[in-house]
A and B are shown apart, each in its own frame.
Chain A
Amino acid sequence: MTEDLKSIALNLALLQKMFHDSPFGICIIDNHGKYLDTNPSFASLLGYASPDELINLEFKDVTHPEDVERDRVLTEKIFSGEIEEFKVEKRFLKKDGEVIWVKLYATTYEKTYGIGILESLDARGKYESQMAKLKKDLDQFIYKTSHDLRSPVANILGLTKLQDSDLDKDELIQMVYENAQKLDHIIREISDYSSNQKFPLKLEELDLDLAVNEAFHSAQEETRNKRPTELVKNIPFENVVADRARLLIILKNLIINAINFGRENAKIEICSSIKNSNLIIKIKDNGIGIRKDIQTKIYEMFYRGSKNSEGAGLGLFIVKEALQEVSGKISFSSQEGKGTEFIVEIPVP
């Protein structure tokens, strides 16, 4: 140490500056775990405006309940001298209740004052809350899909018991067939959903007219050609650059809806244009329309608008997710009893 630093006043000033300006949170506690002083970083880590707000609080007041007991035991040990120091990763509860992860290093001065230095593990906290959300979503997804998959299976099980009833055999087989189709439809929906999540974006040049034909064909297949539907196209150009798989998923699901929610003499008009480097596709039907009171809900996961909806209620949810992946947009206008027009916008390079 140089002569200058031996000056007590200077030494104190330097230490104070270190304490005050440190990016690490620093706290001093008494042997009851009460905060005697903290630096501004410590207070702001915990979401308090200033260190003064923490004085008189004990560490257990701001520690996640599941970590309190462990930290209490460790703190006791450093005050009794059984151990000199400890390092833990722990959770604090911020002033607004949010949980944060920190790495804490703790020791004492003469077994009288506890000194804690902590570093935020913010990234970890974000990761954990993301995981918690994913887990919840997955839970919900499994709950709903297992229910939706089970219902056609239960139907088929029920139907097999009707062999001896007066029900016509052909009718029985037709019902088994319809349920197997329904099962197939739900599984396809899940597969669409998962491929949208999984596959990276892949832009390629494609013939839009052919893509519309292909989507229309798969939509008819998935709805078992149950409603004869006229397709009118107005696609005044041939090639566009787009993510083929997602474009097909979007078109197919919108066409399936137009078929499922169609009426007699069903007609789907599909036209496209390019405006301000956006590919705009309009899909218009003359179906039953979407009631005003459910219009805000139709994109929700598992939402089924009415009993016409055949799958698990994933169609428009998948469309929206797929559009998000390609930075696109969707909107619609609908009139009950007249029909619905969906407008899809996708940026093109």
Chain B
Amino acid sequence: MEKLQKVLLVDDDDIVNSINKVIIKHAKFAEEIVVQTIASEAIGYIKEQKEQGTLPELIFLDINMPEMDGWDFVDEYVKLGLEDDGPRIVMLTSSINPRDENRASLIDEITDFMSKPLSPEVLEKIYDKHFVS
């Protein structure tokens, strides 16, 4: 039995997405893994899922993407006005810069900030920290 129903990956790098999909699947972390490589389309997807009541429980969000980046995504996401029990957003980025981590910590909607690569240990940490009440 997988831990979560649905996880959304927002990242423009196809390789990152395929690695993360394998890791998530392997760790039996989520039933369904949805990939969006363009942030603005990911916003559209979330809107759609909200109406159908099938929102993901967790979003892994990259920062550095062309056009709409991770920060812009969060701005747009906030405008959707989802309830408190909406998806958790974990920033998953190549950045190891404290400036980015700080900035993320100041935004309520961002639940956590992790450095790539994703690993089974990181998944476990996220689950224990944010999904076990």
Using CB atoms and an 8 Å cutoff, list the residues of chain A in contact with chain B: 143, 146-148, 150-151, 154-155, 157-159, 161-162, 165-167, 175, 178-179, 294, 303-307, 309, 313
Contact A161 B15 (CB under 8 A): no
Closest Cβ–Cβ distance, residue B123 to chain A (whole Å): 12
Is B5 an interface position by the 8 A CB rule?
Answer: no
Docked Cα-Cα span, A155 to B12, in Å, equals 13
Docked Cα-Cα span, A294 to B64, in Å, equals 17
Using CB atoms and an 8 Å cutoff, list the residues of chain B in contact with chain A: 12-16, 18-20, 22-23, 26, 37-38, 64-67, 93-97, 99, 115-120
Contact A178 B67 (CB under 8 A): no
Main secondary structure of the interface of A (DSSP, over half): helix
Main secondary structure of the interface of B (DSSP, over half): loop
Closest Cβ–Cβ distance, residue A233 to chain B (whole Å): 31
Number of A-B residue pairs with CB-CB distance less than 8 Å in the complex they form: 75
Contact B116 A162 (CB under 8 A): no
Identity of the chain B residue whose Cβ is nearest the Cβ of A157 in the assembled complex:
B117
Contact A154 B94 (CB under 8 A): yes
Task: List 17 interface pairs A-B (beta carbons < 8 Å), by A numbering.
Answer: A151-B13, A154-B94, A154-B116, A155-B16, A155-B19, A158-B16, A158-B20, A159-B19, A161-B23, A161-B119, A175-B19, A179-B15, A294-B67, A304-B66, A307-B12, A307-B37, A307-B38
Identify which of A151, A155, A159, A166 contacts B64 (C-beta below 8 A).
A151
Identify which of B15, B26, B95 contacts A175 (C-beta below 8 A).
B15
On chain B, the residues within 8 Å of A303 by CB distance are: 66
Contact A158 B38 (CB under 8 A): no
